[in-house]
Amino acid sequence: MHPAPPVLTPERIDAMLSRTAEICMAGVEEAGERLAAAPDIESFERAGRALQGIGRSLRQTLALKQRFDREQVIVDQARRRMADLAVEDAERAHRGAVTRRLTEVQRHFERTLWDEYEDDEAQERFEIMDAELCDLMEEEAFVDTPVETLIARLSAAVEAASLAAAAEVDAAPAPPVVTPADEPREQRPPAALSPPARPAPPADPPVVDVTPPAPPDPPPEPYIPPWERLAAGHSLGGGTGW
């Protein structure tokens, strides 16, 4: 029985093309040497035809190698694209499974907490459950864990956290009683103060007796000689006879 031929994998095809190109190149070099050392025209022509044929084979081999490389690049890109799509599909499916599991657990606690506790306590417990649930989501086995198991773990965690919070409240020291004497001075209420007295109206200014100044003396009468003051028919007494 003849052995089975080797499988033409891309790696083997690439190796065969590379090997063929090396053989063609060796033939080109040998033909070139014979062409240069041809003793006559016939030998020169035979060496030239051999060089031409081997050179054509080399060019074809190189062209096949380049096309094969381009095809391999396309194949590799397609494979990577398919792998990326597969990863995206897997991640999308995982997110969908996580969302469904979250919804199942949250709906259970929404039904129980709001029915068994007052609004404030139910809201507090629901927030604790939500924080614990976020931690459980990070586990790889979250999707594969049964819903009942998750609910039991979360219920225990919520109960423990609630008891711890209640213990902290009970253990907290009572606030000190502050008496009026202990209050800071700036915090004491201001004492009752009587309203300020109304300011007295301003006193009237003193009356100042201002006597008006006396009128000025009349100007002196102009001087009139005695003879001008005589009445008609009178004369001054004297020896001159005026």
- Report the pLDDT averaged over residues 112-126: 80
State which of 103-107, 218-222, 226-230, 238-242 shows the largest mean pLDDT. Answer: 103-107
pLDDT score for 242: 42
**Between 21 and 202, whose confidence is greater?**
21
**Contact between residue 154 and residue 109 where contact means Cβ atoms under 8 Å apart:** yes
DSSP 205-220: PPPP--PPPPPPPPPP
Q: Which of 8-17, 116-125, 164-173, 200-209 has the lowest mean pLDDT?
A: 200-209
Contacts of 158 (CB under 8 A, 6+ apart): 125, 128, 129, 132
pLDDT in tens, 213-222: 666 666 666 6
pLDDT in tens, 129-145: 888 888 888 888 888 88
- For range 199-222, the mean pLDDT: 59
Select the more confidently predicted residue: 17 or 235. 17
Determine the average pLDDT of the residues in 42-59.
Answer: 93
Eight-class DSSP state of 44: H
Question: Token pair 């790889």 is at which residue?
Answer: 140
Q: Distance between the two ends of the chain, CA-based, in angstroms?
A: 207
Q: Contact, 154 vs 136, CB < 8 A?
A: yes
What does the pLDDT look like over 57-106, one tens digit per residue? 999 999 999 999 999 999 999 999 999 999 999 999 988 988 888 888 88
Q: How far apart are CA 177 and CA 33, in angstroms?
A: 114
Q: Residues with Cβ < 8 Å from 226, sequence gap 6 or more?
A: 236
pLDDT for 142: 84
Measured distance CA(177)–CA(193) in Å, rounded: 28
Question: Is residue 208's pLDDT more than 60?
Answer: no
pLDDT value at position 235?
61
Residue type, 139: E
